[in-house]
Amino acid sequence: MTVNHARTMGGFQTDAERGESTTKRRTVLRALGGAGALAALGSASASAADTPAEARELARQDGEIDPVYGYPAQTDDEDPPVSPQHEVALEIRPRDAPIPEFVFEPTGLYIESGETVRFNYESPHHTVTAYHPEFGYVPRVPDGVPPFSAPALPEGGYWLYTFDQEGVYELHCAPHEIFGHAMRIVVGSPSGPAADPLPDLCAGEGTTTAEEMTTTEEADGETTAEGGEEEPALPRFGAYAVLTDPALAPDAIVDERRVSWDDLDPASKQLFLRVEGFPPCPGQATGTATTETGSDGETTDETEATTDGETEATTTDDESA
């Protein structure tokens, strides 16, 4: 494919990189041509735009996949504008538990810089979202990568994204993150903040861990740009468990190229949440509620309900199949 190696990158510049002539560098890269030139220029060429908006405009001019919004297609009848080198399925797998498994298949993927991945929505309601500081998370994508995300799409839709910048990317599905809908992509040599393991929450006290994660959960959705007082969140609950599975270590992904969901430890796939207090019906102190869960419209979630409306973290491990 006609990868724009100059974009390398899809990224926007850090403060330290600003002031350099983007146009000039892109011209130079074109003149030199291809990945070899890029390698020669090294990290100095790791960014091509000052802002996500500029990165988008440059991609548009070059007829490339949008580095922020990717390329969404509502149905698979639509021909992709570029030929993807890899495919990842977004699936829901029923199991003997109130909540099904939400799966990226493969869950670990190795690709080369500049390659495009097609994410197939085999069920609706999902997203493919970067663990990016602009989204309120600790950085788990390479520095300079813009905050990118797929939209929710219908079943049968797909989303394309070109991973220009080398490094380790951790991705999640926003609606199902807490249920473990997350994956890791290694682009070229493992590098960047996600090349390092996530903090070991088991190193501290277990109860503290649960409280910390609950706190970050409560912080979800609040504006972090103003005041900057909110702590950036780690991948939450199920996503943390999946992303800390040894089978998904970056080096393991490099070795295996594709790591299946089936290769993960069952303990990494367990449910950590029990929803209580829904629906919040007046006059019912406790009860059993049946709610729809998942994206397939099936009624699968039987939960005990109280009226306090809280979502609690649990440490039970007997809910997975």
Whichever of 26 and 176 has its CB closer to Cu ion, that residue is 176
Residue of the chain from 26, 181, 236, 269 that contacts Cu ion (CB under 5 A):
181
Distance separating alpha carbons of residues 93 and 269, to the nearest angstrom: 12
Smallest gap from Cβ 194 to Cu ion, in A, equals 20
Smallest gap from Cβ 159 to Cu ion, in A, equals 12
Smallest gap from Cβ 201 to Cu ion, in A, equals 23
Smallest gap from Cβ 179 to Cu ion, in A, equals 8
Q: Which residues pair with 88 in a beta bridge?
A: 119
Residue of the chain from 7, 86, 140, 176 that contacts Cu ion (CB under 5 A):
176
Q: How far is CA 129 from CA 137, 275, 277, 301, in A?
A: 11, 24, 29, 25
* Among the residue ranges 26-34, 64-72, 175-183, 193-201, the one whose residues contact Cu ion (CB under 5 A): 175-183
Distance separating alpha carbons of residues 253 and 185, to the nearest angstrom: 8
Smallest gap from Cβ 45 to Cu ion, in A, equals 35
Whichever of 181 and 236 has its CB closer to Cu ion, that residue is 181
**What is the strand order of the sheet 167-172 is part of?**
129-130, 167-172, 182-187, 108-111, 258-259
* Among the residue ranges 1-9, 15-23, 179-187, 312-320, the one whose residues contact Cu ion (CB under 5 A): 179-187
* CB 216, CB 142: distance < 8 Å: no
Chain residue at closest Cβ approach to Cu ion: 173
**CA nearest 217: which of 177, 270, 165?**
177
Query: Can residue 236 be called a binding residue for Cu ion (CB under 5 A)?
Result: no
Pattern 87-126, Cu ion, x by CB under 5 A = ---------------x-----------------------x
* Among the residue ranges 15-23, 57-65, 167-175, 261-269, the one whose residues contact Cu ion (CB under 5 A): 167-175
Distance separating alpha carbons of residues 95 and 100, to the nearest angstrom: 5
Distance separating alpha carbons of residues 47 and 274, to the nearest angstrom: 43
Ramachandran angles phi, psi of 136, nearest 5°: 95, 10
Residue of the chain from 145, 173, 233, 313 that contacts Cu ion (CB under 5 A):
173
| Alpha-carbon torsion (260, 262, 265, 270), positive or negative | positive
Smallest gap from Cβ 49 to Cu ion, in A, equals 30
Smallest gap from Cβ 295 to Cu ion, in A, equals 7
Cα angle 46, 52, 56 (rounded to 5 degrees) comes to 95
- The residues that touch Cu ion, with contacts defined as CB under 5 A, are 102, 126, 173, 176, 181
